Structure 1
Amino acid sequence: MSRNAPPVAARSAIALAGFPVVAGLQLAAVLLLLWTILSVLPGAVALRAGVPLSIATVGALGYETWRALHTRRRTPAGVAVTRGQAPKLWELIDGAAAAAGVRPPDGVTVVADATAALGERTRVLGLIGGRRDLYLGLPLLQALPPARLRAVVAHELAHGSPKLGRWAPLAYRGRVAVGRTAPRISRRNPAGAVLRAYAGFYRRMDAPFSRAQELAADRIAADHAGVADAVAALRDMPALAGMQRLFHAEYVGPGWQAGYVPDDVFGGLLRVLAARPVEMSMLRATEPEPSGPWDTHPPLAERVAALTPRPSPASSDTASAPSSDTASDAAPASASEEPSASEDVSGEPPSSEAADEEKPAEPDEELVPDLPALGRALQAVAFPPRGRTVVSWDECLSFARTTEMEREAEAALAAISRASDAAVPDAAHLLTLVADGRLRAAAGAVFPDTSPEEITARIVDLLGLMLALAALRGGVARWRHSWTGAAEVVAVDGANLNLAELAAAAADPETTEAVRTYLTENGFDLAARADQRASARARVLGGLVNLSADGTRTDLLITDLGLLLVPGLPRGRGVEAKRRLTRIAADGVPAGAEPPVEPDSDQEARRFVPFADVAGVTVLPGRRKGWVLGLRDGGNLSLRPALDADELPGGWAAWDEAVIFLAGTR
């Protein structure tokens, strides 16, 4: 960069200021075009039509521009922690703020995700600053040593450090605000095309500064907490986030969908972290995927290399403190170099010894007194039951696994019932089909073009599933859970059950009745139906707002079990409709019996269409594609997007997958 060129932070700030300029020019261009058209009209006509037409056109475009650039402030659910409640934690934060050269945040909120972020209530796309709050994930307080947490906090606060340049705080605020706003600009917004194009230009202009700023913030964190802890924190953060995703997918999510919530969510996360060190180590060694096009973080390997220069005499000359003028000068010269395979990336260079001597001493007590109590308070706001039953972890996991088996069994028995033209609600009826030879024929109809060996394997699997449910319902079996692997069905005394052998014997018509007798004598409840529990919830995959269902304005939730149709709101209330559908999805879609509804609630008019009741789907051609679902009772359900149709995140993708599934299995 030449001496006369403006600093990259200043260029980023100038590009940020271009947003209102571009918006104003767009309005001016539309107004100029309108006046040009009016100028060729007769004077009386132009006078009568000009004022209302100008107000309507420019007013509408101005409103849409405001909507496009309006930054929605969404505060994460969390628990505020004051200085009096956690003085040691605030002492750590104050030290990190001093190291970054910024004032401490105005507040600290503990949130559920394994993340750390500095949120600022900015205005005008970050051009005007405001209150600053630090959001710290409870998993970080649970799992990270204080030194690594110190590095994490210092990095976040350093984003707004004047050490990175006079314009750096403004440029960073703008980057965050634009990154939050630009992806939300609707493609149906008439003012959106120009603003989205300028957002892409701004992102390219800002990229060099953002990359250098992240590396400089890493260096500030390393100078404050030590290189070893800063590097370890860089690896720990994405690994903790990955472990938390695994924890929610394997433990919390199934129980949540089944209608249950554990009484100590964050305690369960600690157990998973303690029981799965191998997975944690693998995640620490894995390069995390970018979170999106607006992610400012360089690759992890590059960040680690920038903090651990090669152990050679030349490398010590290249490491320098961040410049106070430009963010690009703040990045060490070795930032683009890859460390060698034999290099100890967790060790500190010789030049960091003095910094280590000045590193604050480790706290002699926990940063947050009574962290389990904080976890329970956070669970109340981050995981509100909303009609679910709060139970122990063992009960939650047991109910979740049983509900999953019930769903699988119910779907399989429904298919067998249709193929055999006979009701098959339980294991007893299924064994009857096996004994008279009809189950193999029904399975062949459900799975055409399948070899006899595969048909036998599928029959054995289904029988094993039904026998496990019969054992659980009969009280002769229970779940044995593990924080390291899959749960298994065992006898009540913990002994292994030979369900696979019993299922294989039951699949043979010659021994089916003997197996039935054995199961009945040993307490298996073969008549237990594979019905859903009343509290079970279907898993929501996506949502669509403002569709036409049989000519009626309707919102739609796509779940793993079917479609929930919700009466739509009038035109002009699209934002409210999206918020309402998001709330319904968060509350959960009951998979069994409907719960009582409040008087005058739109829930009375909601309609759930199970996928099992759909006989086929037809795609209607046209610019606005439509669909007709043929139902097994002979009726039809016609769906078509309205002109103002919108989606919850991933809504159209979930709908396309549902249509493909229905078309391919019917």
Structure 2
Amino acid sequence: MVATQQTAGLSTSGRAVQAVALLLGFYLLAAAIVLGLLGLDLALYLGSDHLRPALFKIWALTAVVIYPVLRVVFLTRRPKGGESGGLLVGRAEQPALWARVDRLAERTGVRGPAEIRLTAEVNAAVREDTRLLGLIPGKRHLEIGVPLLIGLTEAELDAVLAHEFGHYSNQDVRLAGITVAGRTAIVHTIGTLHERADRQQAEDAAELRAEAEDRLARGKQPKDRSAGDGGVQRVLARLFTRYARLYFRVSESVGRRQEYAADRAAAEIAGRDATASALRKIPTLVAAQNFYLGAYATLGWDAGLLPAPGQVYGGFAKLLADPGRRAELAAMGLALPEREADPYDSHPPIAQRVAAIEALPADGRGTEGAGPALDVLHEPERTLAELEAVTLVPEAATKRRVDWPELVAESHLAHAREAAQPILRALTGSGLPGTVDALLDAVDRGEGRQLAERLPRSAAATAATGRAAREFLRPALRAGTARLVVLALAESGLARWELSWSAAPALVLPEGMAETFDAALDAVVADTPDTAPLRSLLVAAGLAPVAG
């Protein structure tokens, strides 16, 4: 046992030395460029019997190279890792969550966090405010994404938290202070150099354009010249990028070993099956939340609408509770994609991590803690509403909060109005009212093609003539007619969109209309147009004709 601990300690120290050496190497590379150029300048000066004009040119070139190295690498302030976003929750506000975290920290044998923050991401993370390149410990922080609380069971949440505490027990968070510092320095330097090079390239291009315009104004042909690619700053960025590849490959290989060790710690604390299940779920939760935010939570953003307080994030639970969605996500979890490990990624492929956990001996704890993890929160709806207040963009405060059925109905009505704009503009541009009756009357008068020609068309449709032109115009007029009819029905309260958590919101037409609607639209755009079937459907639905 003593030998094992010593080996682990030596391994940790070795990794720390390696990370420090690579971080110092980054600065040494920059210093070598500066000192090497200065040394070359000095050698040229000492080898010359007097100050030649060529020396001044060489020194000027040296300054052009040295300045961005000194400016960007050594003198530019880098953003410090400050307070994370999210909702800070104290022991009084969330006693059950804190009790769970304390218990897991004790079982893992580590000092627990000083603060817990809830975030909106599908992620959990630990962070420690270390000093002296991570060698002196400090205040610990734990971040828990509420989508994990919504999508995981209590046992799976324990596995995720035990994984994070496993990093503490391996002193990984201290090492992270070293590796993250190096990563931040290198990424910042490369990004700044590229940014300066882009700016220089844009300025060169602007000068060339101005010069070309001036020559054209004087009746001369512009010179055949192109802007450079950013000069010496681009060259330096590429040089540091080469070093970055080495640094990331070495430092992230350390990260992968840390992940496997933290997974094993999670399996010991929370159980093999719960740990494997949590690993399988996390990628599917990422995909599901991205879909949910786009298709549901922000559905009414452009219409000035948001779900009721607490439901921007809380509605994710409704999606996951749908039987069809559950089956879909379960299938995704069973079919984890196989891919080769990225040498620059600190996390091994999820399939490899799951395989490593499932290869462990069964421990008989597969069914423990099957309740939803969200139950650990006190007053979850209020807590989620508070999280929205601190994480949503300021513009969210201007949105009207509505329940889900109203959100779907009003959002799709707004979309329907937007979709009908081309046909409405075609009607009003022809001097006609923007109504279904005006459209059908125009078709009866043989003016359907003229209306269709006012609708947006592709280049091929615009260039077509004769029969081909009519065939291009037919679907455009049909689609415009359908959109105008749906809008008229919806604005009259005769059609609506219904919420579904297993599929896209469905348009519900008046009773008996759906079966013959397509055929009636086809008749409107036939070679011999006939608007009677569509007019009859609209009257039967209760949409009274509008006088033109």
TM-score where L is the length of structure 1: 0.61
Structure 1 residue identity aligned to 2:290: R
CA distance in 2 between partners of 1:41 and 1:405 (Å): 83
CA distance in 2 between partners of 1:72 and 1:288 (Å): 36
Please point out which of 343, 357, 361 is paired with 1:307: 357
Check 1:188–1:202 CA distance in 2 against 1; reply closer, same or farther (3 A cut).
same
List aligned pairs for 1:177-196, cutoff 5 A.
Answer: 177-179=181-183, 182-183=186-187, 185-186=191-192, 187-189=194-196, 190=233, 192-196=237-241
Check 1:32–1:93 CA distance in 2 against 1; reply closer, same or farther (3 A cut).
farther
**In the TM superposition, what is the alpha-carbon distance from 1:105 to its structure 2 partner?**
2.0
- Structure 1 vs Structure 2: percent identity of aligned residues? 28
1:23 equivalent to 2:43? Answer no
1:172 equivalent to 2:154? Answer no
List aligned pairs for 1:326-405, cutoff 5 A.
Answer: 349-350=361-362, 352=363, 366-383=375-392, 384=394, 385-405=396-416
Structure 2 residue identity aligned to 1:519: L
Please point out which of 152, 161, 176 is paired with 2:169: 161
Unaligned segments of structure 1, at least 5 residues? 310-347, 529-666
CA distance in 1 between partners of 2:141 and 2:118 (Å): 10
**In the TM superposition, what is the alpha-carbon distance from 1:36 to its structure 2 partner?**
5.3
Deviation readout 1:27-74 (Å, 9 max, x if unpaired): 433544555566669679999999999999756532311477824536
- SS of the residue corresponding to residue 299 of structure 2 reads helix
List aligned pairs for 1:212-227, cutoff 5 A.
Answer: 212-227=257-272
Deviation readout 1:134-171 (Å, 9 max, x if unpaired): 111112122322211111012123234337xxxx4444
Match of 1:321 in 2: none
Which 10-residue stretch deviates more, 424-433 or 145-154?
424-433
CA distance in 1 between partners of 2:187 and 2:15 (Å): 24
Check 1:493–1:460 CA distance in 2 against 1; reply closer, same or farther (3 A cut).
closer
Please point out which of 312, 337, 341 is paired with 1:265: 312
**In the TM superposition, what is the alpha-carbon distance from 1:425 to its structure 2 partner?**
4.8
Match of 1:255 in 2: 300
List aligned pairs for 1:413-432, cutoff 5 A.
Answer: 425-432=434-441
CA distance in 1 between partners of 2:94 and 2:160 (Å): 18
Q: Which structure's relative contact order is higher, taking Cα pairs within 8 Å and 6+ residues apart?
A: 2
CA distance in 1 between partners of 2:447 and 2:64 (Å): 70
CA distance in 1 between partners of 2:373 and 2:283 (Å): 27
Which 10-residue stretch deviates more, 235-244 or 98-107?
98-107
- SS of the residue corresponding to residue 376 of structure 2 reads coil
The number of residues matched between the two structures is 478
Please point out which of 488, 491, 497 is paired with 1:473: 491
Which 10-residue stretch deviates more, 38-47 or 424-433?
38-47
CA distance in 2 between partners of 1:525 and 1:133 (Å): 64
Match of 1:408 in 2: 419
**In the TM superposition, what is the alpha-carbon distance from 1:252 to its structure 2 partner?**
1.8
Structure 2 residue identity aligned to 1:406: R
Match of 2:88 in 1: 80
Root-mean-square deviation (Å)? 4.5
Which 10-residue stretch deviates more, 264-273 or 112-121?
112-121
Match of 1:281 in 2: 330
Is the CA contact 2:305–2:401 (under 8 Å) kept in the aligned structure 1? yes
CA distance in 2 between partners of 1:503 and 1:106 (Å): 66
1:109 equivalent to 2:117? Answer yes
CA distance in 1 between partners of 2:351 and 2:185 (Å): 29
Structure 2 residue identity aligned to 1:246: F
**In the TM superposition, what is the alpha-carbon distance from 1:307 to its structure 2 partner?**
1.5
Is the CA contact 2:416–2:483 (under 8 Å) kept in the aligned structure 1? yes
- SS of the residue corresponding to residue 479 of structure 1 reads strand
CA distance in 1 between partners of 2:113 and 2:169 (Å): 12
**In the TM superposition, what is the alpha-carbon distance from 1:225 to its structure 2 partner?**
0.7
Check 1:82–1:527 CA distance in 2 against 1; reply closer, same or farther (3 A cut).
farther
1:240 equivalent to 2:258? Answer no
Q: Higher helix share goes to which structure?
A: 2
CA distance in 1 between partners of 2:77 and 2:433 (Å): 57
Is the CA contact 1:76–1:111 (under 8 Å) kept in the aligned structure 2? no
- SS of the residue corresponding to residue 159 of structure 1 reads helix
Check 1:67–1:103 CA distance in 2 against 1; reply closer, same or farther (3 A cut).
farther
CA distance in 1 between partners of 2:482 and 2:370 (Å): 58
- SS of the residue corresponding to residue 113 of structure 1 reads coil
Deviation readout 1:155-204 (Å, 9 max, x if unpaired): 123234337xxxx4444334445555655524144353333221111112
Is the CA contact 1:178–1:199 (under 8 Å) kept in the aligned structure 2? no
CA distance in 1 between partners of 2:134 and 2:20 (Å): 10
List aligned pairs for 1:122-141, cutoff 5 A.
Answer: 131-141=139-149
- SS of the residue corresponding to residue 257 of structure 1 reads coil
1:462 equivalent to 2:518? Answer no
- SS of the residue corresponding to residue 133 of structure 1 reads strand
Is the CA contact 1:97–1:154 (under 8 Å) kept in the aligned structure 2? yes
Structure 1 residue identity aligned to 2:531: T
List aligned pairs for 1:60-71, cutoff 5 A.
Answer: 60-66=68-74, 70-71=78-79
Check 1:48–1:455 CA distance in 2 against 1; reply closer, same or farther (3 A cut).
closer
Match of 1:642 in 2: none
- SS of the residue corresponding to residue 258 of structure 1 reads coil
- SS of the residue corresponding to residue 398 of structure 2 reads coil
CA distance in 2 between partners of 1:493 and 1:89 (Å): 51
CA distance in 2 between partners of 1:41 and 1:53 (Å): 21
TM-score where L is the length of structure 2: 0.73
**In the TM superposition, what is the alpha-carbon distance from 1:402 to its structure 2 partner?**
2.2
CA distance in 2 between partners of 1:133 and 1:53 (Å): 48
Structure 1 residue identity aligned to 2:255: S
- SS of the residue corresponding to residue 165 of structure 2 reads helix
Is the CA contact 1:474–1:525 (under 8 Å) kept in the aligned structure 2? no
Check 1:433–1:254 CA distance in 2 against 1; reply closer, same or farther (3 A cut).
farther
Deviation readout 1:311-335 (Å, 9 max, x if unpaired): xxxxxxxxxxxxxxxxxxxxxxxxx
Is the CA contact 1:78–1:378 (under 8 Å) kept in the aligned structure 2? yes
Check 1:128–1:407 CA distance in 2 against 1; reply closer, same or farther (3 A cut).
farther
Which 10-residue stretch deviates more, 224-233 or 373-382?
373-382
1:434 equivalent to 2:434? Answer no
Which 10-residue stretch deviates more, 46-55 or 371-380?
46-55
Check 1:100–1:493 CA distance in 2 against 1; reply closer, same or farther (3 A cut).
farther
List aligned pairs for 1:531-610, cutoff 5 A.
Answer: none
- SS of the residue corresponding to residue 399 of structure 1 reads helix
Match of 1:313 in 2: none
Structure 1 residue identity aligned to 2:505: A
Please point out which of 147, 156, 159 is paired with 1:151: 159
**In the TM superposition, what is the alpha-carbon distance from 1:18 to its structure 2 partner?**
2.5
Check 1:514–1:217 CA distance in 2 against 1; reply closer, same or farther (3 A cut).
closer
CA distance in 2 between partners of 1:183 and 1:406 (Å): 46
Is the CA contact 1:114–1:241 (under 8 Å) kept in the aligned structure 2? yes
Is the CA contact 2:253–2:346 (under 8 Å) kept in the aligned structure 1? no
Match of 2:522 in 1: 504
Please point out which of 3, 14, 18 is paired with 2:21: 14
Structure 1 residue identity aligned to 2:112: P
**In the TM superposition, what is the alpha-carbon distance from 1:380 to its structure 2 partner?**
1.7
CA distance in 2 between partners of 1:24 and 1:84 (Å): 52
Q: Higher strand share goes to which structure?
A: 1
CA distance in 2 between partners of 1:154 and 1:501 (Å): 61
Q: Which has the larger radius of gyration?
A: 2
Deviation readout 1:313-364 (Å, 9 max, x if unpaired): xxxxxxxxxxxxxxxxxxxxxxxxxxxxxxxxxxx625x46xx69x999999
Match of 2:508 in 1: 490
Deviation readout 1:77-101 (Å, 9 max, x if unpaired): 3111112222222232233334544
